[in-house]
Structure 1
Amino acid sequence: MSRAGAELRIMFSPGRVQLVQEEVVVPGLRVLVTGATGLLGRAVCREFQNNGWLVIGTGYKRARPRLLRCDLTDEDAVRGLLHEYKPDVIVHCAAERRPDVVERHTEAAVNLNVHATSTLAKEAAACGAFFLYISTDYVFDGRNPPYGEDDSPNPLNVYGRSKLEGERETLRHCPGAVVLRVPVLFGEVESVTESAVTSLWLKVQEATESCTLDHCQQRFPTDARDVAAVCRKLSERARQDPSIRGIFHFSAKEQMTKYEMAVAIAQAFNLPSNHLIPLTEQPAASALRPVNSRLNCSRLELLNLSVEPRPFTSAITDCLWPFTPDKRWRQTVFH
């Protein structure tokens, strides 16, 4: 399929988004990425763009002037957006993904995680776009891992329940959609606090005083770039094969607590870690978390739609080195 005329090109690079209006003939297809200012949204935009897709990125509160600004909780705005840009694929990354925030601001979180997802799924079905909804391992209670796609969900917190409701709305309104469940993510960040994984950098640097970190909850930190590649592969295959539908899991394979992640980060940057103290009791938090919600990812693997996850140490080094004191030197030498 080719499209000629005035096309909207959105160029992505770390920390920068650029939109250019130009006359082109586009041999590829259009993908609409919600939450394009977020950790995963940025990675998805780059992945699709680098593989010949025309990317249309949306944001709202954090939308830059050159991204499309859209309130996803406004049904008329969503309908108008899809009518104007006619995407072939929609990757729905936008969500309130911080469990403690969801507990405190439940109504706003449910509006985004459930109601906006329902609207997008309805409109995707109406316009014939393939719809890919990003969900979470927190739909499981963590008591009997690993979890396959057909295992019964039992979320422990409001965040997990909202994402599970989003899954159900997706598949109810758009039966040909894909739900992709993923664990805690990290990647190229604009601020280290953007991910629960990269935020450990602040703890690692507090070498002058001891710092306790959870050493109970088992996590599988996954690079957003790998998730983005899976999203593209799913989208490309699904457009050719209607059997690609329903629920899929993707996760890195390294099992780590927050304490172990922080120690690995310290070792990667040759920093001391003896100030990091493992906490072996469940940490106090407003939202309960599953102890181990490991995902069985064999469905993706059997269909050759998975990717080999990047090793944690090398991936986290890629993400955090710009925040080291010598970043300017490294940019000069290697970039």
Structure 2
Amino acid sequence: MKLLVTGASGFLGWNVCRVAAPDWEIYGTTFSHSSPIPGVTLLTVDLRDERQLQEAFQQVQPDAVIHLAAQSSPNECQNHPKASYLLNVTVACTIANLCAEVEIPLAFTSTDLVFDGLNAPYCETDPVSPRSVYGEQKAIAETEILKRYPKAAICRMPLMFGAAPAHASSFIGPFAQALREERELRLFVDEFRTPVSGTTAAKGLFMALDKVEGMIHLGGQERISRYDFGRLMVEELDLPGTGLKACRQQDVPMAAPRPPDVSLNSSKAFALGYAPRSLRSELADLKGQI
């Protein structure tokens, strides 16, 4: 069975490829990064070029697609809305059309940032209310994909963390480095998420690919602030905590507005077999890798 993974060189893409390796023949698209990924045939494709994208589908003839490629920086989207729309919405629509033509499973990664953070925890049927351009683009993509291909799995993802290869990054890498060097690391006490590791998220995507049509939330079991997540990192990764400082969202000016609490209610996914582990155990497994 052939799996096409867009954005294979990113943090989540790398984790998806690792999880897929035993069961799939994997083809991954890359554009700005082309470092080899063991067991993956990489295709250099500018997804914004519809012709290149169609040619990649014709070449691979995938049995399933996981579409991860995106401009996922809220600040970049806020500052460059037209360029990010092309990747976050237009490309997603093209991929939905291509999958619909041959009726193959499609999993698309959306985000918890489609919500405004005022009525958490959010379930799949709650109305979207994005505060940022990024959240707005992902919400549009969700609607447009399902309009074109109702069988697609729309996977709203939480904050994700974990080990990453040299060509990708996870936010906890720079966090851990700052703490080791005892530099100041200011984390929000008033921003809450339901994080999962990249490995857990990848397993959730394959569950959705197999079992879900429509919307699914793939958040973790625990609601936690960024600051308290930092404290867990200090404890489980044996990092010095002297540089860890609490701050509030208003203390850090950013281009994109940030919602205060986009915790996801993922009970629908849990009932289907999605099983995130505790944050402590996930972090403990990363000891020596971060």
Compute the TM-score of the two structures, normalised by the length of structure 2.
0.91
Structure 1 residue ranges without an equivalent (≥5): 1-28, 238-243, 324-335
- Taking a change above 3 Å as real, the CA distance of residues 36 and 297 of structure 1, as seen in their structure-2 partners, is same
Aligned partner of residue 133 in structure 1, secondary structure: strand
Q: Which residue matches 1:107?
A: 82
What SS is found at the alignment partner of 1:295? coil
Is 1:199 aligned to residue 174 of structure 2? yes
Deviation at 1:197, TM superposition (A): 3.4
- 1:233 pairs with 199, 202, 207, which one? 207
Instruction: State the AA in 1 paired with 2:33.
Output: R
Q: Does 1:213 align with 2:187?
A: yes
Deviations 1:142-162, CA, capped at 9 Å, x for gaps: 100111111100000011011
**Counterpart in 1 of 2:142?**
167
Secondary structure at the residue paired with 1:198?
Answer: helix
Residue in 2 that maps onto 1:48: 20
Check whether the contact 1:186–1:196 (CA below 8 A) recurs between aligned residues: yes
TM-score (norm 1): 0.80
**Matched AA of 2:19:** E
1:282-301 pair list within 5 angstroms: 282=250, 283-301=252-270
Q: What SS is found at the alignment partner of 1:116?
A: helix
Tell me, in whole angstroms, the C-alpha distance in 2 between the residues paired with 1:153 and 1:59: 30
Pairwise CA distance, 1:210: 4.2
Q: Distance in 1 between matches of 2:199 and 2:249?
A: 32
Instruction: Note if contact 2:35-2:167 (Cα within 8 Å) is conserved in structure 1.
Output: no
Judged with a 3 Å threshold, the aligned counterparts in structure 2 of structure 1 residues 301 and 213 are, in CA distance, closer, same or farther, namely closer
Which one of 71, 91, 95 corresponds to residue 70 of structure 2?
95
Pick which of 288-297 and 210-219 moved more.
210-219
Aligned residues: CA RMSD? 1.9
1:113-192 aligned within 5 A:
113-190=88-165
Deviation at 1:211, TM superposition (A): 3.9
Q: Give the conservation status (yes or no) of the 8 Å contact 2:178–2:185.
A: yes
- Distance in 1 between residues matched to 2:101 and 2:111, nearest whole Å: 26
Contact persistence 1:234–1:305 (CA under 8 A)? no
Displacement of 1:191: 5.1
- Shift of the 281–157 alpha-carbon distance from structure 1 to 2, 3 Å rule, reads closer
Q: Deviations over 1:59-102 (max 9, x none)?
A: 11112366111111111111111122111110001111111121
In 2, distance between residues paired with 1:76 and 1:271? Answer: 49
* CA deviation map 1:13-68 (0-9, x unaligned): xxxxxxxxxxxxxxxx1111101001111111121222x22111111111236611
| 2:252 is the counterpart of 1:277 | no
Q: State the Cα deviation string for residues 231-272 of structure 1 (Å, max 9, x = none).
A: 2122233xxxxxx31100011122222221222111223333
2:220–2:266 contact (8 Å) kept in structure 1: no
Q: 1:206: Cα distance to partner? A: 3.5
Using a 3 Å threshold, how does the CA distance of structure 1 residues 101 and 316 change in structure 2: closer, same or farther? farther
**Counterpart check, 1:68 vs 2:43:** yes
State the distance in 1 between where 2:180 and 2:168 align. 14
**Structure 1, residues 120-152: CA drift from partner, whole Å, max 9, x if none?**
001111122211100000000010011111110
Cα distance per residue 1:164-214 (max 9 Å; x no partner): 11111211111111100011111221359822333321332242x544321
Alpha-carbon contact 1:183-1:221 (below 8 Å) kept? yes
SS of the residue 2:173 aligns to: coil
Question: Which residue of 7, 11, 15 corresponds with 1:35?
Answer: 7
Q: How far is the alpha carbon of 1:277 from its aligned partner?
A: 1.8
Q: C-alpha separation between the residues in 1 aligned to 2:219 and 2:2?
A: 26
Paired residues, what number? 285
Stretches (4+) displaced over 4 A: none
**Structure 2 residue ranges without an equivalent (≥5):** none
Q: Aligned partners of 1:157 and 1:114: how far apart in 2?
A: 15
CA contact (8 A) 2:236 2:287 kept: no
TM-superposed deviation, 1:305: 3.5
Q: Secondary structure at the match of 1:44?
A: helix
SS of the aligned residue for 1:58 comes to: strand
Tell me the residue number matched to 1:322.
289
2:191 corresponds to 1:224: no
